[in-house]
Each structure stands twice: as C-alpha cells, then as structure tokens.
C-alpha cells in the first residue's frame, strides 16, 4: 500500500530505526509503521505538495493548486452552465 507523503522527515523516521530525542514521543507508533515498511506492506513514496490531493482539503493553497486538485478529485462547479 502506498501512502504518499510530502514530508521527507516523516518518511525518514518511518524508514530509519535509529531513535532520536525529537521522535521519542512517537516511539510506539513508529515501531508499528517500521514493522509494516520492513515486510513491504506499506511504502511511503515522496510526492510534491502540488500533487498532494489531501492538502487542498486541510491547508491554504494557491488558486492554481486548488483548481488543479479539484479537477483531479473529479469535482465540478455545479453552478457553471454545461
């Protein structure tokens, strides 16, 4: 299963078993995810934020990114004449 991510630090933490002081609060979750990565159930390919469709639903993005994301999600303006 591919979980696309635009956060390179999160990808590195999921792949790297080394414990860091700044990541000790996510220790249990990270080990669970690392186990799934090791057996190739889950992978975290990097995707640029321009192509991250989930961001349009939770972050402020430019008009261009917003309109491109709506098109990729298959959303249409219901008030535009056909």
The model's pLDDT over 5-62, given as tens digits with 9 standing for 90+, comes to 777 877 777 777 666 666 666 666 667 777 888 888 888 888 877 777 777 777 787 8
pLDDT of residue 22: 64
For residues 65 and 28, membership in a common domain is answered with no
For residues 4 and 32, membership in a common domain is answered with yes
pLDDT of residue 10: 77
pLDDT of residue 80: 75
Packed helices 8-15 and 27-38: angle between N→C axes, nearest 10 degrees:
70
Supply the range of the domain harboring residue 74: 53-82
Domain count for the chain: 2
First vs last Cα of the chain: how many Å apart?
38
- CA–CA dist 61, 14 (Å, integer): 26
- CA–CA dist 64, 61 (Å, integer): 8
Give this prediction's pTM: 0.47
Which residues pair with residue 46 across a beta bridge? 5
């Amino acid at each position: 299963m591919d979980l696309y991510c635009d956060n390179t630090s999160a990808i590195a933490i999921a792949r790297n078993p080394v414990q860091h002081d700044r990541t000790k609060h996510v220790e249990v979750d990270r080990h669970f995810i690392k186990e799934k990565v090791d057996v190739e159930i889950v992978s975290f390919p990097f995707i640029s934020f321009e192509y991250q469709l989930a961001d349009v639903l939770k972050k402020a993005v430019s008009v261009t990114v917003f309109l491109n994301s709506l098109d990729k999600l298959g959303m249409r303006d219901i008030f535009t004449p056909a």
